[in-house]
Amino acid sequence: MGDDGTTAGEVGTAPAPAAPEEPDVLRDIESRTAAATDWSGHRPDGLPDGVVRARSVDDVVRTLRWATATRTPVVTRGAGTGLAGGATAGAGEVVLDVRGLDRLVEVRPDDQVAVVQPGVLVADLDAAAAVHGLMYAPDPASAATASVGGSIATNAGGLRCAKYGATREAVLGLQVVLADGRVLRTGRQTTKGVAGYDLTALLVGSEGTLGVVVEATVRLRPRRRKQATTSAFFDTVADAARAATAITRAGVEPAVLELVDAATLEAVDAALGLDLRARGAAMLLAQTDGAGAESEGRAVLAAVSPWARGVETTTDPARAAELMTARREALPSLERLGRAVIEDVAVPRSRLAEAVAGIEEISASTGVRIAVFAHAGDGTLHPVVVVPPEQDVLSGAPWDAACRIFSLAQRLGGTLTGEHGVGLLKRAWLRQELGDVSMDLHAAVKAAFDPLGILNPGKAIVDG
Amino acid sequence: MGDDGTTAGEVGTAPAPAAPEEPDVLRDIESRTAAATDWSGHRPDGLPDGVVRARSVDDVVRTLRWATATRTPVVTRGAGTGLAGGATAGAGEVVLDVRGLDRLVEVRPDDQVAVVQPGVLVADLDAAAAVHGLMYAPDPASAATASVGGSIATNAGGLRCAKYGATREAVLGLQVVLADGRVLRTGRQTTKGVAGYDLTALLVGSEGTLGVVVEATVRLRPRRRKQATTSAFFDTVADAARAATAITRAGVEPAVLELVDAATLEAVDAALGLDLRARGAAMLLAQTDGAGAESEGRAVLAAVSPWARGVETTTDPARAAELMTARREALPSLERLGRAVIEDVAVPRSRLAEAVAGIEEISASTGVRIAVFAHAGDGTLHPVVVVPPEQDVLSGAPWDAACRIFSLAQRLGGTLTGEHGVGLLKRAWLRQELGDVSMDLHAAVKAAFDPLGILNPGKAIVDG
């Protein structure tokens, strides 16, 4: 029976459905300006028409029913820390801000599960898990400011994903409001489960184009109490990459394995008055964790030593924090040199040195300053393009350099985006990476979820 | 330009497409009988009309083009070890047997990646990884006889999934032939990557309803050299479950954590002349691995001891194999007592003891013998229904008992299938678990991939 007392079969006698109630749309310039862009630096044409600040699942349902009835394009927005323009919104669009759905519903330590709303910050979820000796494994660098909802929308990665998986591997189930306002539940509370298609994984990383996540059931894992941290300096990036391979060959699976290039070391030196660059032209930081952390730390030390100029392993947390400085301060140090845009290409791990060399070439030939640090454990590189504050990063030589980097990654058998998403900025390289058949299927899957095309139109899965 | 020299726009002048070539369809009774069923024990109505034994991707493409042109339903088949009837085929259907695509294309140890065709056996893939000190983590009990393709179609689990993930977590990319013969590539060679929807995860576990996997790029991980194995006996299943929770609370993540009930212990005793049942009414087997295996083994020992009647931890491989006997020999021992059908419900881990108690009640009230062993680390239970050889398992009291178990698992917040799939046999419980909105979306996604509905019709995602 429908709400109005008719059954689905009684089409002839049913009254026309009432026009859905309009949600509370903020139309002031300030709200619309604040909701127009994200951390990508992209400025859309004009401002969104309005902003809905949802505080409940019902608010989201009401907004999407209204949007469907009025054919209004909706851009869902979390904390706005996205780097690919996925949450940018312009004229003709309404922003659905879900930060107000910020309840950490429950942590069930014996099931190693938490239930959260999308507005909870990633770091707050992890902190809630920590109370029970558990961790939420995905650790994007933006964890302290990024929302769980946004991290699900982009399948956010982080440092320790090579060992513990990205956001997709941590999400067991979702509650999602579809474009027409229907509420979909996907997945389950259990670690395993194979009833039906994996719609959970399909929604993770879909960048707001398939539905609006209003609740997530996520997996927690035991928090590792022990850690061993190794820092090593090398004459060349190629040597650092060889050392990373040697760690792999030794059978060690570090939780963190970061490579830092010379340009980054120089920036950190300039910012903090250190002399890291004098110690080598590349640095590797490895962290092993868990009950075997110490013996694995020794294995890392042995593996990298033949290639390294200097190497140190510690289990002391204070010293470990010092060793990690170069990585932790990399982006802030580069941002002191100008406007910095961070990319996220990924390549097969054996191609890491080639990728860094290729990026250095691109920097030299375009005259654009590019520093690189990388998750060597999973082949994700973060080339940081730095330009003077007054220059636009998304056009001219800087953007040309970024585009060449995307192509380079694809040529090396990798991807143009390892963990930030396609958003608005990388659409031009999508078809080349996915192929025509895949692009056709993406459109068909999109139509299955959102036949009117009102959810984040023009982003993530279409040619740009 | 099309193959015939026309462009897509020149519809008016293009000749009608030639009828697709018919593939080599075996029509003899022997081939059709061998391809009609799997290990579920289900007997479909009649025999499939024919069998295509594909030896190449081209064979698969040709078969599906022909099937699309002739609207012939196609049931894709691997090694036929499925337990849910997903690969059974009857009158009006043609079986596409892909065991002949059995090439292990490459192992790239430094990338920790392997590329395989679907006919490779799971154990053979793991053995190829072992040569390089690596492992293929998913370890279904049928690994020695199950094909990689079938394990992808069902998102197969296994003992060590709680720590290392199921098949979905191990598959990085796929090459898939779609219903109309187009070849789709999904995913990538890198651990991370977020360009486009996660069609890889959507295809894993889709039980042959969305496409035919002809190649998979899978992730390998370092093979763990060290292991510590603990066996513990308890007065009750509830105590064993409490001990499993105590391991969780101790922050240990065992690679293997198996619970074995009294009925299973009795069967193993009867088969092997042991006295396990005299030592307790439930048994827990825990295996920690990696560099911290030994210290984690001690932590397991300390965690379970307060609940246990007897407990032993060893790092000696021979003794470990002895301790694992009860689990390894569980199914063979139960199969000596009659026809055994193994189910695979899953519940949140904290509900494990309730689930076992509920199954014992179902056994008592239906008079059907049911033994249980479980992956306590992820809440997956294997209730084994044992009937006299002449009795049908899939009807009458035995099937009634199985159905009650499915409902029990759903009532406890779990799923009717943790790792075997829905196939043909569990469709009646699917809507109850997924809900109407999800069922609608499943149909829409299916239509996006297979608009004519020729791939494994009537299985996995539809009401039965």
Q: What is the domain-level CATH number for residue A37? A: 3.30.43.10
- CA pair distance B97, A185, nearest whole angstrom: 35
Residues A387 and A277 placed together within one structural domain of the fold: yes
Confirm or reject contact between B218 and chain A (CB < 8 A): no
Span A215-245, pLDDT tens digits: 999 999 999 999 999 999 999 999 999 999 9
Share of chain A above pLDDT 70, in %: 96
Q: Quote the mean pLDDT of chain B.
A: 94
Q: Say if residue A211 is in the same domain as residue A251.
A: no
Q: Which of A411, A426, A450 is the last residue of a domain?
A: A411
Mean pLDDT of B32-45: 92
pLDDT for position B464: 77
CB-CB under 8 Å, B184 with A437: yes
- On whether both A153 and A198 belong to a single domain, the answer is yes
**Tokens 């006997």, located at residue:** B325
| Of residues B199, B347, B444, nearest to A448 (C-beta) | B444
Task: Give the model confidence (pLDDT) of A417-463 as tens digits.
Answer: 999 999 999 999 999 999 999 999 999 999 999 999 999 999 999 99
- Mutate one of A132, A134, A190, A425 to test the B interface: name it (highest B CB count within 10 A): A190
**Boundaries of domain holding A198:** 104-222
Q: What pLDDT is stored for residue B3 in this prediction?
A: 40
Least confident of A7-11, B76-80, B120-124, B349-353: A7-11
In this structure, what CATH number is given to the domain that contains residue B330? 3.40.462.10
Chain A, 139-178: which have a CB under 8 Å from a chain B CB?
Answer: 154-155, 157, 161-162, 165-166, 168-169, 178
Mean pLDDT score, A356-376: 97
Domain-located, residue B217: yes
B170/B297 same-domain check: no
- Which chain A residues in 44-83 lie under 8 Å from chain B, judged by CB atoms? none
Check if B421 contacts A (Cβ < 8 Å).
yes
Does A430 sit within 8 Å of B248, measured CB to CB? no
Per the CB < 8 A criterion, the answer to whether A423 and A85 are in contact is yes
Partner B contacted by A212 (CB < 8 A)? no
Distance CA A16, CA A12 (A): 10
* Mean of pLDDT values over A115-128: 98
- Among the partner residues A165, A189, A197, nearest to B445 by beta-carbon distance: A197
A365 lies within 8 A of chain B by CB:
no
Residues B238 and B271 placed together within one structural domain of the fold: yes
Same domain, A125 and A239: no
pLDDT grade for B17, boundaries at 50, 70 and 90:
low
Give the pLDDT score at B191.
87
Give the per-residue pLDDT at A392: 87
Same-domain status, A152 and A289: no
Mark whether A258 and A394 lie in a shared domain: yes
Interface touch B350/A110, C-beta < 8 Å: yes
Q: Residues B9-18: what's their mean pLDDT? A: 50
pLDDT at A403 over 90: yes
pLDDT band at B45 (very low <50, low <70, confident <90, very high): confident
Q: What is the arithmetic mean of pLDDT over A269-292?
A: 97
CATH number at residue A194: 3.30.465.10
Residue B400 lies in a domain: yes
For residues B26 and B154, membership in a common domain is answered with no
Please count the structural domains in chain B. Answer: 3
B208 and B264 in a common domain:
no
Is residue A376 in a domain?
A: yes
Among the ranges given (A197-206, A427-436, B18-27, B398-407), the one the predictor scored with the smallest mean pLDDT: B18-27
- Specify whether B283 is located in the same domain as B364: yes
Measured between beta carbons, which residues in chain A are less than 8 angstroms from residue B115?
A: none
Taking only the tens place, the pLDDT of each residue in B233-264 is: 999 999 999 999 999 999 999 999 999 999 99
Together in a domain, B252 and B115: no
Among A391, A411, A431, the domain boundary falls at A411
A161 in a structural domain: yes
What average pLDDT does this structure show over B214-239?
97
* pLDDT for res B41: 83
Predicted confidence (pLDDT) at residue A414 exceeds the cutoff of 50:
yes
Mean pLDDT along residues A370-376: 97
Whole-angstrom CA distances from B222 to A138, B182, B226, B399 are 21, 36, 12, 42
Asked if the Cβ–Cβ distance from A192 to B296 is below 8 Å, we say no
Average pLDDT value for residue range B282-288: 98
Please say which residue of A72, A97, A122 terminates a domain. A97
